[in-house]
Amino acid sequence: MAVIECQFQDLAVQLFGKNRRATGISRSSRALSNIIPSLKNLTVLDLGCGVGYMTVGALRLGARRVVALDTEDIQRLLLQNVEINRFSPKAAKFQKSDLFSTLRKGIKFNVIVANLPQHALPATPSAKKLRGKYGGYDGTDLVCRALTEGAYYLKRGGRYFGSISRLTNFRRTMTIADSLYKIKIRKTITKTLDHNEMAPYLTDARLLEHLAALRKQGLIEYKINKHEQIEYKVHLCEFILK
């Protein structure tokens, strides 16, 4: 298994990747890490935990306990990653879960950290095969559900840290979030779309056509840069439960 050496804020973190091709943690995950404050003695829910970058990071920031959820069966890897960073495996609990579906009724956290898939894709069976990437027709399906349902799992004044892409229907997400949270955009980064991420299920032409149609309707925002890549902004946001 490949070991990924990475930074969570200015802290060195080591992670076993899913396979030998796993070379790192995405830019938006790293950028999201930078807006998370001290979590001393707080309880944290890591939504869409993957191999545990945010889980380990939250423990490094002092979290008392982390519950990590993902649709993938990744418990062994996540707990291994907690251990190689010198935390007791008891500090984190993994549950295989579609968003909050397996959480015990009534459980509440101080903080939710969520870096969920948000690729806007046509609602075709081939797009849905892009497991872990599909964010629905305008990219907001998972993020909006996570924000609205997340409010039930946060303590009063609890905070949700998440990345929100402009290659999704940003206005829809923010309108829905505004009804429940005070919103703070902490940082903005520029990203380019890696078309290969979508192969082999979605051809470039299909994807580009879909994005162009959404942009024409004013739902998403991007530009084509001088390297002919799709360039878009991602906002790293803090949502404070009202």
Ligand X SMILES: C[S@@+](CC[C@H](N)C(=O)[O-])C[C@H]1O[C@@H](n2cnc3c(N)ncnc32)[C@H](O)[C@@H]1O
Q: Choose one: 37-45, 48-56, 185-193, 206-214; the region binding ligand X (CB under 6 A).
A: 48-56
Binding residues with ligand X: total (CB under 6 A): 19
Host H or E run for residue 56 = helix 53-60
Q: Choose one: 46-54, 83-91, 104-112, 148-156; the region binding ligand X (CB under 6 A).
A: 46-54
Answer yes or no whether residue 115 interacts with ligand X by CB under 6 A: yes
CA distances to 48, 55, 100, 134, 212 from 126, in Å: 22, 31, 25, 10, 19
Q: Which is nearer to ligand X, 66 or 219 (CB)?
A: 66
Answer yes or no whether residue 237 interacts with ligand X by CB under 6 A: no
Q: Choose one: 70-78, 84-92, 154-162, 188-196; the region binding ligand X (CB under 6 A).
A: 70-78
Dihedral sign, CA of 10, 11, 17, 20? positive
Contacts of 218 (CB under 8 A, 6+ apart): none
Answer yes or no whether residue 118 interacts with ligand X by CB under 6 A: no
Answer yes or no whether residue 135 interacts with ligand X by CB under 6 A: no
Answer yes or no whether residue 72 interacts with ligand X by CB under 6 A: yes
64: its two tokens: 């008392």
Tell the smallest beta-carbon distance from residue 205 to ligand X (Å).
Answer: 25
Options 29, 85, 169, 173; binder of ligand X; rule CB under 6 A: 29
C-alpha Rg value of the chain to the nearest Å? 17
- The letter for the amino acid at 168 is T
Answer yes or no whether residue 136 interacts with ligand X by CB under 6 A: no
Answer yes or no whether residue 56 interacts with ligand X by CB under 6 A: no
Give the residue from 49, 46, 44, 241 showing the smallest Cα distance to 151.
241
Q: Which is nearer to ligand X, 152 or 156 (CB)?
A: 152
Phi, psi (degrees; rounded to nearest 5) at 101: -60, -25
Answer yes or no whether residue 45 interacts with ligand X by CB under 6 A: no
> Residue with structure tokens 């490949």?
2
- The letter for the amino acid at 238 is E
Q: Which is nearer to ligand X, 64 or 133 (CB)?
A: 133
Give the residue from 148, 142, 53 showing the smallest Cα distance to 92.
53
Give the residue from 161, 200, 199 showing the smallest Cα distance to 177.
161
Answer yes or no whether residue 149 interacts with ligand X by CB under 6 A: no
Q: Which is nearer to ligand X, 62 or 132 (CB)?
A: 132
Tell the smallest beta-carbon distance from residue 122 to ligand X (Å).
Answer: 18
Which residues would be at the binding site for ligand X (CB under 6 A)? 25, 29, 48-50, 53-54, 69-72, 97-99, 115-117, 132, 142
